[in-house]
Structure 1
Amino acid sequence: MKLSKSRTWRPIDLAREHGLSTQAVRNYEDLGALPPAERTDSGYRRYTDLHARALHTFLALRAGYGHQAAVDLMRSANRNDRVGLYRRWDELHAGFLQERRTHAEVTAALEALNSTPSPRYPSEPLTVGQLARRLGIHPATLRQWERAGITAPPRDRATGYRTYGGTEIRDAHLARYLRKGGVPLREVASFLRELHQAGTTDHMRAMLADWGARLSVRSRGAIYGIAQLDHYLTDLDHIRS
């Protein structure tokens, strides 16, 4: 878009251009996703091509990063807070990287599954505290997983304490990976039931494929969004210079 210094847009013009309501456009300005608009003598907002560029950029960023992240980036850009903008961008991409690593970990764990417990798990049962330390989680999380049907550790006959053997340890490791990936508790429990009953991981493979596809779409959307943000920052630099 080539910016015009004279062209003005009414809120309804911007809204129609992007299939939005006029209230949505006003809300985005109030959030800081658009720079403040000038007002007419009668109090109506008067937008320019810069606002049209800002709205286009915000919507592109939202598709790749989500609503709040897009607001954060645009608000920093409009406030000329480049340090804050770049820091937030770094955080978002660190989040993408962590999600990809988690996806890879879950995939690797799934590929390593077989009908018997993996030999990397200890031969002696572990207590709640011992397993929690191995997983880097709080013991209360393991108890929550038990209530959700994710694990079913037997009790030691002498002490009454929970004991985690090879299968339970494997299930807990899988649950940790899946939870890191944002999989809801009920879906984790459903997957493990399927694994125990049928000995197959078809449902989980489909879930991982869908997760990977969604991550790729978001990454591509993020690339496009950042390209639009670069154009917008260039426009702001010209206006401020």
Structure 2
Amino acid sequence: MGQNLKSRERLRPVDLARGHGLSTQAVRNYEEAGILPAAGRTPHGYRTYTPVHAQALRAFLALVPGHGHQTATSIMRAVNQGEIDDALRLVDESHLQLLDDRRTLRAVESALRDLDPTPVTASDAGSGPDGTFIGPLAGRLGIRPATLRKWERAGLVRPRRDPRTGYRVYDAADVRDARLAHQLRRGGYLLEQIAPLIAQVRAAGGLEPLEAALNDWHDRLSARGRAMLAGAAELEAYLREAG
């Protein structure tokens, strides 16, 4: 009885928009996108909303930080269409993605910890003052030269060519990338998964600057996890309100 009375309470678009920093047009857009259930209409054709719509808006806005706009939209559409299992599956998939991201971060951290701190130097056989050649580097890593060539095709290492001999020459950054790729491969990661991680190391300017990026990565994953908890609470409140 109380819920029926509450659901009949009329709210204007501005009532929903107020407090969330939204425009009334944004509220109407959310309704048209299926994020909010369909609004009622006055005899003059004006939209009227209820506390159920207000809770739907709170749920959507709480879901966005953890799941992203597109997934949050899909979750709300599924709920409003009565497809609760589909909505919960989408939530589960986001949690799985977060877990996979955490595993990737741990793999990178583990690979960095396990890197051999001793660089390949000119004293190594087959190395010169400007870098090392494919044979000595492959031997140092315990892999075949063909593996290094495969990694090169995948973009994991980018050796230059000696202008006189045409031989591949790996400088210090190439050796670093090869070592990191080797550790990640030992951890079971595929080449296509390793390539963007190597790119992050290059963009950071090396391993030491990457530490700040890893700390930031930790913080962002934690923020996503907490945002998912907040979104789940508001979604559950909406399910109760709409039910």
Question: What range is the shorter-chain TM-score in?
Answer: 0.7 to 0.9
1:41-77 CA-to-partner distances (Å, cap 9, x unmatched) read 2221100010001001111111221111111111111
Which amino acid in 2 is paired with 1:227?
A
Aligned counterpart, 1:198: none
Q: What are the ranges of 5 or more consecutive residues in structure 1 without an aligned counterpart?
A: 133-138, 146-150, 196-200
Q: Where does 1:88-167 land on structure 2 (aligned, <5 Å)?
A: 88-113=90-115, 114-116=117-119, 121-122=141-142, 124-126=144-146, 130-131=150-151, 139=153, 141-142=154-155, 151-155=157-161, 160=166, 167=176
RMSD: 3.2
| Pick aligned residue for 1:189 from 176, 195, 202 | 202
Alignment partners' CA distance in 1, 2:118 and 2:47: 66
Report the alpha carbon displacement of residue 5 of structure 1 after superposing the two structures with TM.
2.7
Q: What are the ranges of 5 or more consecutive residues in structure 2 without an aligned counterpart?
A: 121-136, 185-190
Aligned counterpart, 1:135: none
| Pick aligned residue for 2:179 from 165, 170, 174 | 170
Q: Where does 1:196-211 land on structure 2 (aligned, <5 Å)?
A: 201=208, 203-211=209-217
Alignment partners' CA distance in 2, 1:177 and 1:105: 10
Report the alpha carbon displacement of residue 20 of structure 1 after superposing the two structures with TM.
1.0
Alignment partners' CA distance in 2, 1:29 and 1:129: 54
TM normalised by structure 1 equals 0.74
Count residues with an aligned counterpart.
211
Alignment partners' CA distance in 2, 1:178 and 1:101: 16
Alignment partners' CA distance in 2, 1:116 and 1:14: 61
1:220 is the counterpart of 2:222: no
Alignment partners' CA distance in 1, 2:143 and 2:15: 69
TM normalised by structure 2 equals 0.74
Percent identity between the aligned chains?
A: 42
Aligned counterpart, 2:13: 11
Report the alpha carbon displacement of residue 234 of structure 1 after superposing the two structures with TM.
1.8
Which amino acid in 2 is paired with 1:52?
A
Alignment partners' CA distance in 2, 1:194 and 1:168: 9
**Larger C-alpha radius of gyration, 1 or 2?**
2
Alignment partners' CA distance in 2, 1:110 and 1:171: 7
